[in-house]
Structure 1
């Protein structure tokens, strides 16, 4: 592993190293190949399994123009991630570095499970090598995850409530509208309450498990406080980035539905997407299978035609996998060279990295 000083300054106590073992190109290539094989198996099921003739017909006659629209929308979603990343972690970071770290995280999220947590972990490693204190990285990573995910819960609460009272359609049973809305509101309320609690302090003589629990609690509490602060400051990058990341990704699924010749109500796509995405938390490389089954199942439950849902979700997943992966590979190549050559002193400037 290559070790260099920041900016070529041999007196600096901070160092940058080549990427950690789990993010080395060969290991990432193996992960990517495994995810590709799983995705290929999913495609093979659709292509060869009996009883899916209508799905195959929809895919055979998919409109290329709508698929291109889907790719553009996914690119906008990824760009929104970049816009959000910079003000949350380090506003003094250059846009180039922010772009590369963000795309590396997005690419990592395409081939590891747990809803992008693996990408955030790699980004945290890079920031730490740039000089940002570990506790600050942990707090801001929690804040970033909360802000990115919080849009989903707010959307479920709003859209579910509007469906429940009949302001928007189509008509759905209350367990598909009011119940998700109430649960989402409950989660939001719990986060707000937790954000107001004092950070826990370890008791004298506490054991290892107790200390670890207290540290975890402090990180979560600090992240909640950080997220609340960012929302109160109404930073346009945070607000537009988090909204755009969610909105454009939803729009990709809307575009793939049109590509396969279907146009279910937008509310059906939104609710199916919001709840179905929970399958991405399953420990499956790239979420292949978990997200797909979750999306298809929820879309059908909310009223989308089954064959159209399967075809649209498959097209959506192909776009969602390949675009971040290819963009992330290019960003990783550029960022890795810069780390080895110590050419990115702006990852975390001392004046910013040392602050809260």
Structure 2
């Protein structure tokens, strides 16, 4: 089936309110400032302010550039999974708006994907296809995190990477990550098919089953295809972000071992699932706690995470808010960036159906 991007008929619902996002941006900024003040006031963390005062401007600039690389990698994998024939300018605005929404309206990454899916649906992409691709996007980007923990945790456990840690902190996460990947890999064929009388609830269950099973298969097809945009984008999205955290450490303290930083990063990101602006508090506390568990002194971890979060939160929030204001232009333009009167099909984008057979 060829995926054409054309305006959907009928009146379009209102786009996300950029004024509301700006208010969320200011609220997140206030939350970051309060978090910094609270951390500095905690007994034993009095040195945080001194670390910031002595921070290396060069390493802070490096953290900013690396975080920008992570943002652009997100745009690349978003485009590769959802609409590989969409013009790059439109892809940037749509992907960056999705990432900014994830930061300012956090819900485990679902809010940004919902925004992107809504815009693409207004451009004519079928809802079922968007559901499958949404699951595929989540699986593709999460696969990098799980694979990293599996490989790096094993390397730490057997001594290939430096880090004197108990097996519970190295082999344990590696085993859990490997099991999770195995469950996802065999999941599509084992998900129970809903049966019922055909009511609304049954239709919802069927749609969810189709999206989950089809999305997992589609993720496998996309990764197996070795599309450099998707593979490099998914890897860059995570590793540029980890590198930004490493640069923040170098700016205010000292760089920990790479293996330790990678595993603690993935474990600590679980705090970002809490629904607070930018994950402030949840992600900060989770990441700081993970770093301390993995042997980083509390003062160093707190200072580095606060510096890192200023870029990891602020950059996509600013760029995403600006991108939201450009979404009306994305909706009115064709896939090549021309006006809607000159629209052309985006081109065939194979999608794995729930049965696993590709649809041409």
Structure 1 residue runs of 5 or longer lacking an equivalent are 1-5
Task: Give 3-state SS (helix, strand or coil) of 2:256's partner.
Answer: coil
Asked if the contact 1:19–1:336 (Cα under 8 Å) also holds between the matched residues in 2, the reply is no
Matches within 5 A, 1:42-191: 42-191=35-184
| Superimposed CA distance per residue, residues 213-234 of structure 1 (whole angstroms, 9 cap, x where no aligned partner) | 3321221111101101101111
C-alpha distance in structure 2 between counterparts of 1:204 and 1:311, whole Å: 55
Q: CA deviation at 1:113?
A: 1.8
Please, what TM-score do these two structures have when normalized by structure 2? 0.89
Q: Does 1:228 align with 2:220?
A: yes
- Among 289, 294, 307, which residue is 2:281 paired with? 289
Q: What is the aligned residue count?
A: 342
Task: Give 3-state SS (helix, strand or coil) of 1:203's partner.
Answer: coil
| Superimposed CA distance per residue, residues 284-342 of structure 1 (whole angstroms, 9 cap, x where no aligned partner) | 22111111111111111111121110000000111011111111122222223443xx2
Matches within 5 A, 1:166-315: 166-197=159-190, 200=193, 202-315=194-307
Please, what TM-score do these two structures have when normalized by structure 1? 0.90
C-alpha distance in structure 2 between counterparts of 1:349 and 1:134, whole Å: 20
Q: CA deviation at 1:191?
A: 0.5
Asked if the contact 1:142–1:220 (Cα under 8 Å) also holds between the matched residues in 2, the reply is yes
**Corresponding residue number in structure 2 for 1:321:** 313
Asked if the contact 1:157–1:185 (Cα under 8 Å) also holds between the matched residues in 2, the reply is yes
Residues 207 and 343 (structure 1), Cα distance of their counterparts in 2 relative to 1, 3 Å cut: closer
Task: Give 3-state SS (helix, strand or coil) of 1:17's partner.
Answer: coil
C-alpha distance in structure 1 between counterparts of 2:264 and 2:344, whole Å: 42
Q: CA deviation at 1:50?
A: 4.2
Task: Give 3-state SS (helix, strand or coil) of 1:14's partner.
Answer: coil
C-alpha distance in structure 2 between counterparts of 1:50 and 1:216, whole Å: 49
Residues 198 and 58 (structure 1), Cα distance of their counterparts in 2 relative to 1, 3 Å cut: closer
C-alpha distance in structure 2 between counterparts of 1:50 and 1:177, whole Å: 30
Structure 2 residue runs of 5 or longer lacking an equivalent are 338-342, 352-360
Asked if the contact 1:114–1:287 (Cα under 8 Å) also holds between the matched residues in 2, the reply is no
C-alpha distance in structure 2 between counterparts of 1:57 and 1:161, whole Å: 37
Q: Does 1:14 align with 2:9?
A: yes
Asked if the contact 2:247–2:255 (Cα under 8 Å) also holds between the matched residues in 1, the reply is no
C-alpha distance in structure 1 between counterparts of 2:83 and 2:203, whole Å: 29
Task: Give 3-state SS (helix, strand or coil) of 1:283's partner.
Answer: coil
Residues 232 and 45 (structure 1), Cα distance of their counterparts in 2 relative to 1, 3 Å cut: same
Q: CA deviation at 1:15?
A: 5.2
Greater mean deviation of Cα atoms: 190-199 or 346-355: 346-355
Aligned alpha-carbon RMSD (Å)? 2.2
**Corresponding residue number in structure 2 for 1:34:** 27
Q: CA deviation at 1:79?
A: 1.0
| Superimposed CA distance per residue, residues 252-274 of structure 1 (whole angstroms, 9 cap, x where no aligned partner) | 01000000031211111111101
